[in-house]
Structure 1
Amino acid sequence: MQGSGRWHRLAWMGAAAACVVLAGCASSRGPAPVEDRAPVNGAGAASPAASGLPTTDASGKPLPGIENLGKPGYYAVRPGDTVRRIALDTGHSWRDIVRWNNLDNPDRIEVGQVLRVVPPVAGAPLVPPPAVAGTGAIPPATTTPVTPPVVAGATPPAKPAGNPPAASGEDDLGWIWPAQGALIAGFDDAKNKGLDIAGRAGDPVLAAADGKVVYAGAGLRGYGNLIILKHNNTFLTAYAHNQALLVKEDQSVQKGQKIAEMGSSDADRVKLHFEIRRQGKPVDPSRYLPARP
């Protein structure tokens, strides 16, 4: 009996020790981290080494574009990324991303692969071609005017009469509301990247400003039937959960034009989810849209 009691005490102590070890492991693990997408435009993109992403494929061959890792304007593909999602986050057409990176299949990109997400010639100066010797050919003028040197004592050339027109602000696109229904959810940087507007199936969805269709389809999970318009080099707008799309990619649209019919695709009710993205980053549309009466 004494041996039996001793065995039970030892077993109990061993079980208690195991519980302590398991509790320590659980506490050290903590809650699952929430993914914070690294910036995809500019120099702040996370490197594969820093984020645990691979730098080679299964055969040990370096992943495409890995030589550009960490350079401004490049992005390392993360789990769950698609070309269309990256294009939305960078404010470009997905077709541009495909072209800039010579992708054979836009639906096949590898985790850790480094993609160019800015135009290859962005900011490059215009260089005129040299004149052909002996032909008298004059190279075409560049878009940048050349200022003649000032000669001491000479009268400077007269400036054109009047002042040049002031450049309009890049934010001033004459925005309008894309739908007339009640606002059911406002912008929340953590939970809702735009505005949710109620309505009935088939209600018109309007272009909020002049622009060009850079995406029309259902390839982005969570958005349903989606249209993305590019308005200039700064702004995109997104129109999600439609039941019907009335425009095609590369089509130019006018402010107020009906581009879709409201629906409930990939949503729990009929509504329009509307986003304004400034240089790829979601911003509060209420800052740009006119006040409602």
Structure 2
Amino acid sequence: MVKHWLLALATVLIVSGCSSRKAPAPLSILNSQPEHIPSAFDVETYEVVAGDTLFAVAWYSGNDYRDLAKWNNIYPPYTLSIGQKLQLRPPEAQTVAKNPSGRTSEKSHKTPVASSKKQAYGGNQEVVNKRTSVPNDAATTTPKIGEFPARVAKWTWPAQGKVIERFKAKGDVNKGIDIQASKGSPIVAAAAGRVVYTGSALRGYGNLIIIKHTDTFLSAYAHNDRILVNEREWVAAGQQIATMGNSGTNLVKLHFEVRYRGKSLDPMRYLPSQQ
């Protein structure tokens, strides 16, 4: 009888202990739509610090540098000043009219920051506040040339080969995946979009291509041997954009990244399960 009583008491304690625990934090669901993304992704402005360039701010905030220049009335050679506040989202027409300088602060900005495209992605690479949730833009429609769709219609593998490094958000961070193949192997656009950058200015990325797929999604293709597309060119999913190389690294590979408003996402969560 005593044994039965003790067993019943133990069961009650275990159940009550489990019920008092807090439920685990919900996982970020990649199938959630943009309207469900927490406001932490909606950073509106950024204050320039030493080492920033317009090109770097654009990449790490998930924008085309031409858009940033337009929203902030900045012209070539795209000189920035320390303390200058940049609008990271399209400003309202009234705001632009009232603020022809493109600045959102009354400060006097006297210290210029490097702005040449050769230094575009150098300096401070942690431009935007850290954010945590991961979105997905799955789509069913194909965009018209000249405009971005609300969602990505289809993701495809950017290259055929062996995945030698996977996405790592902690420790030895890797902001994308690395695919190894022979030099000269084709690299294709992982989704339809517009080429917003080609060049070799981002330190450690070699010959780089950045493609914008929606107003919020970008993908990057690094270490290319030959770049076969031009800036502002619209490309289709699966269209060849480069050949694999080892620019900026000691190994022939493609380093591939997917970003949502500058936040690095795991490409494997988007790409088809079979390569």
Partners of 1:185 and 1:196 within 8 A in 2: yes
- 1:231-288 CA-to-partner distances (Å, cap 9, x unmatched) read 1122111001111111111100001100011111111211100001112211000001
Separation in structure 2 between the aligned mates of residue 187 and residue 96 of structure 1, nearest angstrom = 29
For residue 106 of structure 1, report the CA deviation from its aligned partner: 4.2
Does structure 1 residue 116 correspond to structure 2 residue 98?
no
Change in CA separation of 1:44 and 1:235 when aligned onto 2, cut-off 3 Å: closer
State which of 48, 73, 76 in structure 2 corresponds to 1:105. 76
- 1:64-108 CA-to-partner distances (Å, cap 9, x unmatched) read xxxxxxx95110112332211111112111111122222233453
State which of 153, 169, 179 in structure 2 corresponds to 1:173. 153
The equivalent residue for 1:183 is: 163
Separation in structure 1 between the aligned mates of residue 53 and residue 259 of structure 2, nearest angstrom = 18
The equivalent residue for 1:251 is: 233
The equivalent residue for 1:218 is: 200
State which of 222, 234, 249 in structure 2 corresponds to 1:267. 249
Unaligned segments of structure 2, at least 5 residues: 1-37, 96-138, 142-149
The equivalent residue for 1:57 is: none
Identity of aligned residues (%): 48
Instruction: Tell me which amino acid in the other structure corresponds to 2:222.
Output: A
Aligned residues: 185
Instruction: Tell me which amino acid in the other structure corresponds to 2:155.
Output: W
Higher RCO (Cα < 8 Å, 6 or more apart): 2
Change in CA separation of 1:271 and 1:189 when aligned onto 2, cut-off 3 Å: same
| RMSD of equivalent CA atoms | 2.7
Q: Which runs of 4+ in 1 moved over 4 A?
A: 42-45, 167-172
- Give runs of aligned pairs for residues 1-293 of structure 1, distance below 5 A: 73-121=44-92, 168=140, 173-190=153-170, 191-292=173-274
Instruction: Tell me which amino acid in the other structure corresponds to 1:247.
Output: V
Provide TM-score, normalisation by structure 2.
0.61
- 1:201-248 CA-to-partner distances (Å, cap 9, x unmatched) read 211110011111111111221211111111112211100111111111
Partners of 1:236 and 1:278 within 8 A in 2: yes
Unaligned segments of structure 1, at least 5 residues: 1-41, 46-70, 125-166
For residue 168 of structure 1, report the CA deviation from its aligned partner: 4.4
Separation in structure 2 between the aligned mates of residue 172 and residue 82 of structure 1, nearest angstrom = 28
- Which is higher, the Rg of structure 1 or of structure 2? 1
